[in-house]
Structure 1
Amino acid sequence: MLLTTWLPLVLRRMPLSLPICCIIIGISLAWLHLTMLPRTNPLANLRLTEHMTEVVVIVALMGAGLKLDRPIGWKRWIITWRLLGIGMPLSIAAIAVLGWYILGLKPASALLLGAALAPTDPVLASDVQVGPPQTGQKDEIRFALTSEAGLNDGLSFPFVMAAIALATNPGSNFEWIGRWLAIDVLWRLVAGLAVGWAIGRILGYFTFRLPVSRRIAKTGDGLAALGFTFISYGATELIHGYGFVAVFVTALTLRAVERHSDYHSELHDFGEQIERLLMMLLLVFFGAALAEGTLFLLVDRWVVLVAVLVLAIARPLAGWISLLGCRHPQAEKIIISVFGIRGLGSIYYLAYASGIARFEGIETVWATVFLIILMSIVVHGITVTPVMRWIDRRRGVDPLKPMAASVENGL
């Protein structure tokens, strides 16, 4: 808990990230046997893995939505729509083909690999996201990566459900497609959007529209962010909608009810602290799982090849294609395309699907995803700080100056 507060400050100007440190801590604790930290295979603890990653992702989604000052709109969010509508399907297809052709996975397992790895992660991408509400750090790179991470975690769920349907309906039986389109695509997405919007409006009324003495905002208590998150997620899941979509939409709607209240910062700051703490805990266990070694015994040259192709070609190329025609500097489009960080959301999807259906070669899928997450955390964690500082200098902006000024004023 102490490290979650101190390390981000220490690492702010260094080509290193908190997630990398967490993984090293987890590996060290597991290998040194100084604690009771278990070295366990996540495949042997699917339900625990699923729910732990589920909680940290929805908390991160609420935080990502609260950060965004820009009102939602077609033109204002055009890069986001392109990344979601063009980039994400292309990524899923490309990764699935790599899994099928190189790893020899069956169609269901290959599709699951693509669906799990296509979405960018809202938990581990804080270094390339916009700043807290009303801080002014709203350039296109940070906005695009924040909004994409907020929405694609939910929008990739239909492809996960398609993989589950393929696994449970082998052969040439495609009768599931009609039900998949009606339930897993149409109903669950609409339910997530509708419930998220409705909950956001209701919570917005209680937070900002009641008489001043009775408003939730009057409390100044950021703990309400967790209440908002779980109400939205739970209500949506009860009617079998996509809770990931609902939580992000709730946050956006809450911002739309009252954009300039300082209470948004209180909600965001508390949610970010909880998110960082949960993230650190899970990455310590991620490191312990690496130390246990079961999954990495399955890593061979073909798994390594797929991991490199996914990070170096599949996501960057899909992102680049989706941004063709956008009137933005080439350097910004390259950064948006490259920094599609993979993380805990991918583990959630694998745990969820593995607990419902039996996938052939699922161990290889898990090993591939774990390797890609590890490589993404290391490569992106080392490069993101110098790259973002370089692009900020090109734009004539130093995002560290406001923080330094606030520290001096506080002292």
Structure 2
Amino acid sequence: MNSYVVTLFIFGVVVLLTAWLPMVLKRIPLSFPICCVIIGMLLAWSPFTPLPHMNPLENRELTEHLSELVVIVALMGAGLKIDRPLGWARWALTWRLLGIAMPLSIFAIAFLGWSLLGLGAASALLLGAVLAPTDPVLAADVQVGPPLTGEEDEIRFALTSEAGLNDGLSFPFVMAAIAIASQSPAADSGAEWIWHWLAVDVLWKLAAGIGMGWLVGRLLGYLTFKVPKAGRIAKTGDGLAALGFTCLAYSATELVHGYGFVAVFVTALTLRSIERHSSFHGELHDFGEQLERLLMMLLLVCFGSVIAEGSVLSHIDWRIAVVAVMTLAVVRPISGWISLIGGVQPHSEKAIISIFGIRGLGSIYYLAYACGKTSFENIEIVWDTVFLIVLISVAVYGIAVTPVMRWIDSARGVDSMQPLRRQSR
């Protein structure tokens, strides 16, 4: 059998399902990511498919770059569809989730890794850092709607903006884990790496990410909306520009050693702020969403294939299972709830925001990235734990999100099945 032709056939099926499945699944408690994982598992078990069983430990660089690409595309899309202007009061829920819930989650998960899994300081911190951020890729069902549609209630806004920013803000903790793991056992003091971490990995890289995101966003906003009409990028009506914006923002920031994830999201917010009501934002978002769905499906099909092959999850025991359940059912809900204490939102909305912190491809990217920088003790345990948490997260949230969001919308008198139409330019 010609493997190339079979691969083309499978790719064609995947592309068609990418377009068709979201519409079919909208009214039933089953998410698009779950279907992708199931398809990957079925393909891996099929004797006719050339789909490789790629162990991420053996294909670290490929895993890193594929997951990196889908995350930055998702971050651009998340930023473009937020209608709410940036502000301290208007984004209060976001700042609470980032400043309180995320650090609490990092240290709670790190403690679980140290106490239950027997991980050292570096590996435990790495586990907490890669699992604390919510995922902008797999959380589409609990995010705001496309630009200018009005689908931006507090729940959807909080989860969208949190996912957009916490992927980049968890990077300093990943870098701290790398620094700890890289220390020589003979080193007398940790002061040197701590100062370097604070100056470079925290202050400089965050500042560079925010600054480059704003600068690139302003430049692209000028070229898109402010130059004479005949030369405006917006006049093309071509959503393909979203991919160019994403790659420019990310690569320019990485070249000056800033956090590209932060820059991509800030670029999208800045672009929106320059001309908030243009319908071109919708065209950018629509193309980005299609590309994101395609990339996500391809990666989750591969994820399902890895799960079906079994070697990555072969060493799971009760300790890893307990950490996975505790992370999703205890750590995130409690830390999220603590961060929202004093807020004016009803308890039902606080509960949904606290619980729906899906973990996904961003965690896999961080782990692959860290493994490429230095060696960690018991890294196989970390991989097993992350893969199990992502799998449970995809399954549980994928089943729960549709009925839960439909219930809360109904309680507020909103018909979630009839979204508002996008406004014209």
Deviates more, 1:255-264 or 1:294-303: 294-303
Equivalent residues of 2:151, 2:419 under 8 A apart: no
Q: What is residue 51 of structure 1 aligned with on the other side?
A: 65
Q: TM-score, normalising length from structure 1?
A: 0.97
How many angstroms apart in 2 are the aligned matches of 1:4 and 1:96?
36
Q: What is residue 359 of structure 1 aligned with on the other side?
A: 376
How many angstroms apart in 2 are the aligned matches of 1:259 and 1:183?
34
1:211 is displaced (CA, Å) by 1.0
Q: What is residue 253 of structure 2 aligned with on the other side?
A: 236
Two-structure CA RMSD over aligned residues (Å): 1.0
1:291 is displaced (CA, Å) by 1.4
Q: Trace 1:56-205 onto structure 2 (pairs within 5 A).
A: 56-171=70-185, 173-174=189-190, 175-205=192-222
Aligned to 2:364, what secondary structure does the other structure show?
A: helix
AA paired with 2:98?
L
1:294 is displaced (CA, Å) by 1.1
Q: TM-score, normalising length from structure 2?
A: 0.94
1:170 is displaced (CA, Å) by 4.8
Deviates more, 1:39-48 or 1:168-177: 168-177
Q: What is residue 56 of structure 2 aligned with on the other side?
A: 42
> In the alignment, does 2:384 pair up with 1:370?
no
Q: What is residue 213 of structure 1 aligned with on the other side?
A: 230
How many angstroms apart in 2 are the aligned matches of 1:303 and 1:184?
30
How many angstroms apart in 1 are the aligned matches of 2:179 and 2:85?
37
Aligned to 1:162, what secondary structure does the other structure show?
A: helix
Q: What is residue 254 of structure 1 aligned with on the other side?
A: 271
Unaligned runs of 5+ in 2: 1-14
Unaligned runs of 5+ in 1: 407-411
> In the alignment, does 2:25 pair up with 1:8?
no
Aligned to 1:42, what secondary structure does the other structure show?
A: coil
AA paired with 2:189?
N
How many angstroms apart in 1 are the aligned matches of 2:347 and 2:18?
35
AA paired with 2:26?
R
1:402 is displaced (CA, Å) by 3.4
AA paired with 2:287?
F
Q: Trace 1:262-341 onto structure 2 (pairs within 5 A).
A: 262-341=279-358
1:355 is displaced (CA, Å) by 0.9
Equivalent residues of 2:61, 2:372 under 8 A apart: yes
AA paired with 1:380?
Y
> In the alignment, does 2:408 pair up with 1:399?
no
How many angstroms apart in 2 are the aligned matches of 1:169 and 1:329?
47
How many angstroms apart in 2 are the aligned matches of 1:381 and 1:398?
20
How many angstroms apart in 1 are the aligned matches of 2:177 and 2:43?
36
How many angstroms apart in 2 are the aligned matches of 1:33 and 1:73?
55
Identity of aligned residues (%): 69
Q: What is residue 10 of structure 2 aligned with on the other side?
A: none
How many angstroms apart in 2 are the aligned matches of 1:81 and 1:239?
26
How many angstroms apart in 1 are the aligned matches of 2:136 and 2:362?
8
1:33 is displaced (CA, Å) by 2.3
How many angstroms apart in 1 are the aligned matches of 2:166 and 2:184?
28
Aligned to 1:298, what secondary structure does the other structure show?
A: coil
AA paired with 1:384?
V
How many angstroms apart in 1 are the aligned matches of 2:386 and 2:219?
39
Aligned to 1:43, what secondary structure does the other structure show?
A: coil
Equivalent residues of 2:108, 2:128 under 8 A apart: yes
How many angstroms apart in 1 are the aligned matches of 2:94 and 2:54?
38
AA paired with 1:65?
G
Matched length: 405
How many angstroms apart in 2 are the aligned matches of 1:145 and 1:224?
26
Aligned to 2:313, what secondary structure does the other structure show?
A: helix
Q: What is residue 32 of structure 2 aligned with on the other side?
A: 18
1:62 is displaced (CA, Å) by 0.1
AA paired with 2:380?
E
Deviates more, 1:76-85 or 1:173-182: 173-182
How many angstroms apart in 2 are the aligned matches of 1:197 and 1:345?
23
Deviates more, 1:6-15 or 1:394-403: 394-403
1:82 is displaced (CA, Å) by 0.3
How many angstroms apart in 1 are the aligned matches of 2:309 and 2:126?
24
How many angstroms apart in 1 are the aligned matches of 2:318 and 2:45?
25
Equivalent residues of 2:213, 2:262 under 8 A apart: yes
How many angstroms apart in 2 are the aligned matches of 1:12 and 1:23?
18
1:173 is displaced (CA, Å) by 3.3
